[in-house]
Structure 1
Amino acid sequence: MIERITATRGPQPRFLYTPCVKSGPMGIVSGMVALDPDSGTLIDGDVAAQTQRIFDNLLLALPEYGFAMQDLVLARIYTTCMDQFPRINAVWERQFADTPPPARTSVGVSALPLSAQIEIEFMFHRG
C-alpha cells in the first residue's frame, strides 16, 4: 500500500507534489529547500543557514511521516555552491552528532527551485 503524506507542521508544498510517499517500511521525502515554515518563502541566508532550515523543517515533519532520524538511510544533496561545501558539511555533521549518518550523494547543479542554494531529498526505512 502506498501512503501519501503532507505534514501539517512546517512549510506546505508550493507546487503540485507529495512531500512524503510511504510504502511499507520505506519512505521517500521529496527534495526540500529552505522554506520559512510560517511564510512558505525561501529564507534569507547563506548555504549553511539554508541547510540548517532544511533539517529543521524535516524534524518538524518527521512525526507525521512516521520516521525518526535514526531511520534515515539516504540523503541526496543538490547545491549551487559546491565551492562552499565545507559549510554544508559542518551543518550536516551537527545533525548526526548523536545518530549514525546515512549514505549520501552530493551533486553540484546550476540552479534550484526558487533560487535556493541547496535542496536535499531523504529516504527512510523503518525496520
Structure 2
Amino acid sequence: MRELLTSARIPAPKFRYTPCVRSGPFGFVSGMVALDPATGAMVEGGVGVQTDRIFDNLELALQDYGFTLEQLCMAHIYTTRFEQFGEFNEVWERKFAHIAPPARTSVGVTTLPLGALVEIEFVFVSDRQ
C-alpha cells in the first residue's frame, strides 16, 4: 500500500511529484531544496544557509508526514558546491548533535532544480505499519 503525503507547512512542489510517500513503515521524502515557506522562493545564501532551511522545512513537514528526525535512516545529499561541503557538515553536526545521525551519501553535481546549491532526499522508517 502506498500513501501519498503533503504538508501545508512548507512550499508546494514547483513540479509534478509527491513530496512524501509512505509504504508500510517506510517514508520516502522527495528531494528538498531551500525554499522559504512564506514566499516559496529560494533562500539567499551559501550551502550552510540552504542546508539549514532544508532541515527546518523537513522538521515542519514531518509533523504532517508522521515521522520524527530520530527515525531518519538515510539521506542522499546533492550539491553544486562541493568545495563548500564544510558548511554542510557544520549544519549536519548541529542537527544530529543529540541523536544518532542516519547513513548518508553525498554527491557533487553540475546543477540542481531552481538554481539550488543543495538538495537532500530522505528515507524514514517507523514501527507503525
TM-score range, shorter chain: over 0.9
Structure 1 residue 107, shift from structure 2 partner: 0.1
Where 1:12 maps in the other structure, the secondary structure is coil
| Match in the other structure for 1:78 | 78
Q: Does 1:45 align with 2:45?
A: yes
Structure 1 residue 12, shift from structure 2 partner: 1.1
Structure 1 residue 88, shift from structure 2 partner: 0.4
Equivalent residue letter for 1:4:
L
Q: Does 1:25 align with 2:51?
A: no
Where 1:90 maps in the other structure, the secondary structure is helix
Please, what TM-score do these two structures have when normalized by structure 1? 0.98
Equivalent residue letter for 1:26:
F
Structure 1 residue 83, shift from structure 2 partner: 0.5
Unmatched segments (≥5 aa) in structure 2: none
CA-to-aligned-CA distance 1:25-81 (integer Å, 9 cap, x gap)? 000000000000011111111110000000000000001100000100000000001
Unmatched segments (≥5 aa) in structure 1: none
| CA distance in structure 1 between the aligned counterparts of 2:92 and 2:39, rounded to whole angstroms | 25
Number of residue equivalences: 127
Where 1:124 maps in the other structure, the secondary structure is strand
| CA distance in structure 2 between the aligned counterparts of 1:98 and 1:12, rounded to whole angstroms | 30
Seq. identity, %: 59
Please, what TM-score do these two structures have when normalized by structure 2? 0.97
| CA distance in structure 1 between the aligned counterparts of 2:8 and 2:33, rounded to whole angstroms | 17
